[in-house]
Structure 1
Amino acid sequence: MQRFGLGAVLALIGAGVGLGATGAAADGRLEARYRLSLGGLELGRAAYLLEVDDKAYVASGSARLTGVVQAVSSGKGAAGARGAIDRGTLQPRSFAMEAESDRKNEAIRLVMSGAAVTDMSVEPPVLPALDRVPVTEKDKRNIFDPMTATLIMVPGTDNPLSAKACGRTLSIFDGRQRYDIELIFDRMDNVKAEKGYAGPAVVCRIAYRPVAGHKPDRKSVKYMMNNKDMFVWLAPVAGTRMLVPFRAQVATLLGVAELEAQSFITEPTVGRKAAASTTGQ
């Protein structure tokens, strides 16, 4: 299966940049569940949890194969990230990912400070190869992990559901590869989950630009670099100026891979925390 196509969809919910907002990010919570499909055929299910206040954020996600694919191959994974919010900017502190399949198990852990990786472990390790662009120490600086990249913060005081949500480049390091994801405003749209959110979403076109850790001559890499059919629908997290993926669509060599929220439940938590504090006095 074309690896980047499905991998990019999963990375969009955490299987990668928040842009600084002016003022506090406020407090909010999101619990979402997604369906992953390829060519209309269900491949898996994913879950995503986000909790954020004006000082920190914690995000976690999990995914597993389902349907007919589960009969021929098993697979599941989980990822999590946490970081600080200082003067309206996201500062990732840690990222961890584990995945299991019939063929291999993977585990990646990153520790970050000042938008740079200070410690990391990757299992199985990346083996040197003549046809692979090497990852340098420079490639591990000024980056965000894949999960932090699902948090899009819109600066200013205008409605965050606007073209401003796009128009940015996400510099991502996932432990194996360093790449850029460019978001380009495409249009506004309306979305509706079976449970939870129904309303406007910002649609961004996605462009993939590999930097290091990839094999330039690989057919799948060339395909994704020239892929014009990759989109993400961003929906708001209540009580914050954050947007996160509600839906993602990526054309792959095997058909269109799509991730769409079946449940998207979000609520502000400032009032709830204040009430709890008052009750405890």
Structure 2
Amino acid sequence: MLSRRARWLLAALAWTCGIAVVSGAQPASAQGKLEAQYEATLAGIPVGRGAWNIEISDDQFTASAVGGTAGLLKSFSSSSGTGSAQGRVVNGALVSTNYSASTTTSKKSEAIHMVLSNGTIKEYAIEPEPPVDPDRIPVTEAHKKGVFDPMTGSMLRVPGTADPLSPDACRGSAAVFDGRMRYDLKLDFKRMETVRAEKGYQGPVVVCAIYFTPVAGYIPDRPVIKYLVSARNMEIAFAPVAGTRILVPFRVVIPTYLGIAMLEATQFITTPTPPRVAKTN
């Protein structure tokens, strides 16, 4: 049986691997797609696997992810999850309209669905509805405006015409609402690196430090919240989606008391797609 500390550190890994940061709704610039697979490890031991697919066309985009526990962690607690987002491409900007996520464990299942309009949460639901906790900081209507869903938010836009893989990519911050918690994320540049996936992408990434600030929908005394707020050594390495100015996480790292928790791409296949040509008579 895992200790209480081990359980919440593994929860921190799972949560942090889903962290999303954007630098603002900027034009997407051309079209492309990504087919990626990831492995999660804790102190070098595999604990989870997942896949992420993104398609950006001239007028719409879709993103979907699926994952689950693996290796040592699966021996203690089997779980799986999915996530997806859809939206429009308006004047080149990615505008999310729907977001959904679900998790299933041996003890329970949960589903979250959100409808958005220009960065405002119009409706959202968690099924089954969680019990009211008086210690949880409530989410107000103001907290649901000017936000990104986690899936759309994870596609980092770098404005301009220069190489998007530069220190400027790490100068962003974002307000995110995941259906339960509203939080702010901030990036700072750390370094440039070269990575090599087992299949697909080989090349440079920009590594950003990431800082987490909870705003609402959380319980302040939770150990995982305290840990993430105080952490000053979490980082994300971003790689490009070919044919666009969009960067997505290639690797996420969070040091813990049990060792380094990391999510890293083992497959990162990305290709540009040509814009649609208007039909003529």
Tell me if both proteins adopt one fold, taking TM over 0.5 as the criterion. Answer: yes
Judged with a 3 Å threshold, the aligned counterparts in structure 2 of structure 1 residues 18 and 87 are, in CA distance, closer, same or farther, namely farther
Corresponding residue SS for 1:270: coil
SS of match in other structure, 1:90: strand
1:265 equivalent in alignment to 2:269: yes
Q: For residue 22 of structure 2, what is the aligned residue in structure 1? A: 17
Cα pair 1:21 1:156 within 8 Å, conserved:
no
Alignment correspondent of 2:106: 102
TM-score (norm 2): 0.91
CA distance in 1, matches of 2:257, 2:99: 29
Q: CA deviation at 1:38?
A: 0.8
Give, as a single letter, the amino acid of the residue that structure 1 aligns with 2:274: V
CA distance in 2, matches of 1:48, 1:63: 9
Distance 1:175 1:20 in 2: 20
2:24–2:174 contact (8 Å) kept in structure 1: no
CA distance, structure 1, for counterparts of residue 129 and residue 181 of structure 2: 12
Unaligned runs of 5+ in 1: none
Q: Is the 8 A contact 2:136 2:217 kept in 1?
A: yes
Q: Which residue of 2 aligns with 1:116?
A: 120
Report the CA distance shift for 1:137/1:4 in structure 2 as closer, same or farther (over 3 A): farther
CA-based RMSD of the aligned residues comes to 1.8
The Cα shift of 1:253 comes to 4.1
- Structure 2 distance, partners of 1:55, 1:18, is 21
Q: 8 Å contact 2:205–2:238 — kept in the other structure?
A: yes
TM-score normalized with structure 1 length: 0.91
- Provide Cα deviations, 1:107-143, integer angstroms capped at 9, x if missing partner: 0000000201111110232332222111111111111
SS in 1 for 2:71: coil
Number of equivalent positions? 272
Inter-partner Cα distance in structure 2 for 1:198 and 1:187 = 17
Residue in 1 aligned with 2:231? 227
Question: How much does 1:18 deviate?
Answer: 5.3
The whole-number CA distance in structure 2 between the counterparts of 1:105 and 1:183 is: 33
Give the % identical residues: 41
Query: Is 1:51 equivalent to 2:87 in the alignment?
Result: no
1:9-158 equivalence runs, <5 A: 9-12=17-20, 16-17=21-22, 19-22=24-27, 25-158=29-162
Distance 1:18 1:53, change over 3 A: farther
Contact 2:53 2:63 in 1 (8 A): yes
Matching of residue 218 in structure 1 with residue 222 in structure 2: yes
CA distance in structure 2 between the aligned counterparts of 1:267 and 1:145, rounded to whole angstroms? 25
Shift of residue 103 of structure 1?
Answer: 2.4
Q: Is the 8 A contact 2:48 2:71 kept in 1?
A: yes
| 8 Å CA contact 2:13, 2:262 repeated in 1 | no
Q: Which 5+ residue runs of structure 2 have no aligned equivalent? A: 1-6
